[in-house]
Amino acid sequence: MNAQSLNIKESPDTRKKLEAPENKTPGVFNTSLADLDLYVGEYTIPGEGVDIKIFVKEGALWALATERDEAELVPAKTHEFTVKGVAGYLLKFEIVDGKSVGIDLDVPEGMFKAVRKKP
């Protein structure tokens, strides 16, 4: 391998990108309360009889589904959350025009689509 191939051209833009917060702790997303408010609301899985309430508690996003205990959600990616301490649950919020309109749920029971209830 040529030693020159490892050189990175130093520039202010390159330095900013290397020092950006998202490069400091990969896989950890800082989410403000204002960001979490985007997801807050009531959703339903049509035909399944399951309602899901998404709310903020103790500075974190939480979910409460029909016949389930409330669970804290942990940011995984932009608009995607897992359930804290429980494997196999992924909630991906569908955002349209800056508003959450639904959730794609990938859970052990299968894949489901929840839609936001009308206020």
- ∠ at Cα 76 (82, 95), nearest 5°? 90
How many helices (DSSP H) and strands (DSSP E) are in the chain?
Answer: 2, 8
pLDDT tens track for 12-30:
665 555 555 443 334 455 5
Taking residue 84's Cβ as centre, other Cβ atoms within 10 Å add up to 13
What's the rounded Cα separation, in Å, for the pair 39 and 9?
A: 41
| H or E stretch at 33 | helix 33-36
Q: Mean pLDDT over all residues of the chain?
A: 83
pLDDT tens track for 30-68:
578 888 999 999 999 999 999 999 999 999 999 999 999
For the chain, the domains span 27-116
Domain at 27-116, CATH from 3.40.50.300, 2.40.128.50, 1.20.1740.10, 3.30.420.40: 2.40.128.50
Q: Which two tokens stand for residue 84?
A: 């804290």
Sequence-distant (6+) residues with CB within 8 A of 8 are 14
